[in-house]
Amino acid sequence: MSKHLYFLGIGGTLMGSLAQLAKQMGYEVSGSDGAIYPPMSDQLAQASIRAFEGFDPAQLDPPPDQIIIGNAGLPRGHAAVEYILERNLSYTSGAEWLGSTVLRDRWVLAVAGTHGKTTTASMLAWILDQAGLNPGYLIGGAPNNFEQSARLGNGPFFVVEADEYDTSYFDRRSKFVHYRPRTLIVNNLEYDHADIFPDIGAIQAQFHLLLRTVPQGGLVVAPSDDERVNDVLHQGCWTPIARVGNKAPRKPVDHDNGDLWSATQSATGPGKFEVLLNDVSQGMIEWSLKGGHNHSNAINAIAAARHAGVPTDVSIGALNSFSGVKRRMEIIFEDTNTVIYDDFAHHPTAIRTTLQGLRDNASSDEIIAIIEPRTHTMSLGTLQADLTTCCAAADRVIWFRGSNIKWDLQQVAADCVVAAKVEDNTDQLIDNLLQLPNLEGGRKRHLVIMSNGAFDSIYSKIVTSFTARSQ
C-alpha cells in the first residue's frame, strides 16, 4: 500500500506542484486550502488529486503518513496547524520535502531572483527537454510548452524555481536554501516581501546562504550590473560566475570566469534579437514574447543550459519555439479594436518592464494598465513611491482597491505620472471600459490586467462582457 501524503495549502503554486510530483512518485495524495482556483485547480483535478476547499479534521482521519505544510496563510493558530501539533502528527515543510525527497540525487538547476523566475525556469526546462534530456522541473506557474507545472523526468537534471520567501511558520529561512543547486541563476535582486524582510540586507543575507550551498564545480549565472547581486557575491562565492549584461561588472569578484553573455536587439523587429557570448554571435532568437527583460531571461537560461552540456545553438533553437507562461502577458481576449492581457506583475519593477515591453511593440496604440496591488509588499504600502512612476509607459492606469489595501490608494492615483483613478468594484470597472469609444486610425486599445491573484474574478467577467459586445 502506498504512503499517504497530505498537502496543507495545496492550492498554492509550490504546494500544488509538489502534490503533482508526489503523485507521479506513486504516493497517495490529498490536501486542502482556502479557495483553489485555476490553473492549479485544473492541474490537480487532471492529476486525480483530492483537493478540499477548507480544512476538516476528517481529512486527517486516518492520519496520513506525512503532512506537508505550506507557508501561505498557515500561521500558528490556524485550525489545521493546531490540530496537527496537538496530535503529534508527522509534518515537514514543502521546501524541505522537495529538497530531501525529490532533489537529493539530482543535478539541480535553480532559478532565483526578484523577477523573471517563472519565465526563466520555464525556458530552461524547455531547452533541456528539447535537447532530449527529459528533465524534471517544478515551476511556480503554468508554462505553455508543458501540460503540467511539475514533472519528475527520468534524467539527472531538475529545474526548480527557487523562491526567497520563507519556508513555513516553523522555518523562517528562504525556501531555496533547501534545494542545493549545482547550477544557479540569480536573475536580479530588489526589495520585496515586506511582510517578512525588514530591508534589502535581510534578503541579501538569504541569498548569501544560497551561494554557500553551490559546489565549486557548479556555476552561478548572475547579472553584471546589478549592484545588489554584486554585493552578495562579494560577501563570499566559492563557485565560478558567468555574467549576463552589456559589459563586465564594475567590481569583479575572484570567481568571475570571464564569460559575458549579452543580447542585441535586431533592427528588423522587436521580437528578434541576437545572442552573444564574449561579443561573438551565437545565433538569433525570434519569438512573440515582449520586452528586453525576456531577452535577459533567455540569456540566463542559455548560459545555465550550457553548463549542463547543451550546445548554445540547441538552446537557441528551443527558445525559437518557446511560447511563454500563462498569466505573463497572456492574451485572454482580442478583437479588431481591443486586446486584453492577464499578467502576474507583482512588483513596481515588473509592472514597469512589462508595460514598456508592450509599448515597444505598440508604439501608437493606447495602453490602459488595470492593477490590483495585492502582494503583501504592495498591500502594506511599502513601495508607494515606485507605484506612481511604474506605469509611465501606459496612457492611463486604473488602480483596484481590494479589501487588503491598508493605505490611501487615492494618493498614488493623484501622484501618478499618467492619468489615474481608483476603482473598488470590478463590475463597474468593466462597464466603464465597455463604454470607451473605439480608437480611430487603426489604433488598438490594450487592457493589461496586472495581479498575482484572482482579482475578484475579473478575468472571466471581462472576457464574457467584451465577447458579448463584439458579437
The CATH number assigned to the domain holding 266 equals 3.40.1190.10
pLDDT at 379 over 60: no
Check whether residue 243 and residue 114 sit in a common domain. yes
Q: Residue 399 falls within a domain, yes or no? A: yes
Query: Could you tell me the three cell numbers for 61?
Result: 482521519
Check whether residue 339 and residue 405 sit in a common domain. yes
Helix axes of 292-307 and 348-361: crossing angle, nearest 10 degrees: 110
Residue-wise pLDDT for 210-236, tens only, equals 999 999 999 999 999 999 999 999 999
List helix spans (H) across 276-329: 292-307, 312-319
Residue-wise pLDDT for 156-169, tens only, equals 999 999 999 899 99
Q: Are 301 and 314 in contact (CB under 8 A)?
A: no
Peptide bond into 181 cis (omega under 30): no
Number of neighbouring beta carbons within 10 Å of residue 395: 15
Identify the pLDDT of residue 290. Answer: 79
Which residues have a Cβ under 8 Å from the Cβ of 58 and sit 6 or more positions away? Answer: none
Which residues have a Cβ under 8 Å from the Cβ of 426 and sit 6 or more positions away? Answer: 400, 455, 456, 457, 458, 461
Check whether residue 142 and residue 251 sit in a common domain. yes
Check whether residue 276 and residue 313 sit in a common domain. yes
Q: Residue 325 falls within a domain, yes or no? A: no
| Averaged pLDDT for residues 254-264 | 92
Strands (E), 96-190: 107-112, 136-138, 150-151, 157-161, 166-168, 171-174, 183-186
Query: Could you tell me the three cell numbers for 216?
Result: 565549486
Helix axes of 312-319 and 117-130: crossing angle, nearest 10 degrees: 110
pLDDT band, residue 1 (cuts 50/70/90): low
Q: Residue 98 falls within a domain, yes or no? A: no
Q: Residue 221 falls within a domain, yes or no? A: yes
Check whether residue 49 and residue 129 sit in a common domain. no
Closest by CA position to 344, among listed 326, 368, 331, 323? 326
| Domain coverage including residue 42 | 4-93
Identify the pLDDT of residue 220. Answer: 98
Q: Residue 161 falls within a domain, yes or no? A: yes
Check whether residue 178 and residue 312 sit in a common domain. yes
The CATH number assigned to the domain holding 379 equals 3.90.190.20
Q: Residue 114 falls within a domain, yes or no? A: yes
Last residue in a domain, options 38, 66, 93: 93
Number of domains making up the chain: 3
Query: Could you tell me the three cell numbers for 172?
Result: 523562517
Check whether residue 401 and residue 334 sit in a common domain. yes
Residue-wise pLDDT for 288-303, tens only, equals 887 788 899 999 999 9
Residue-wise pLDDT for 325-350, tens only, equals 777 788 899 999 999 999 887 678 88
Check whether residue 61 and residue 82 sit in a common domain. yes
Identify the pLDDT of residue 16. Answer: 92
Check whether residue 85 and residue 111 sit in a common domain. no
Check whether residue 342 and residue 284 sit in a common domain. no
List helix spans (H) across 89-226: 94-97, 117-130, 200-211
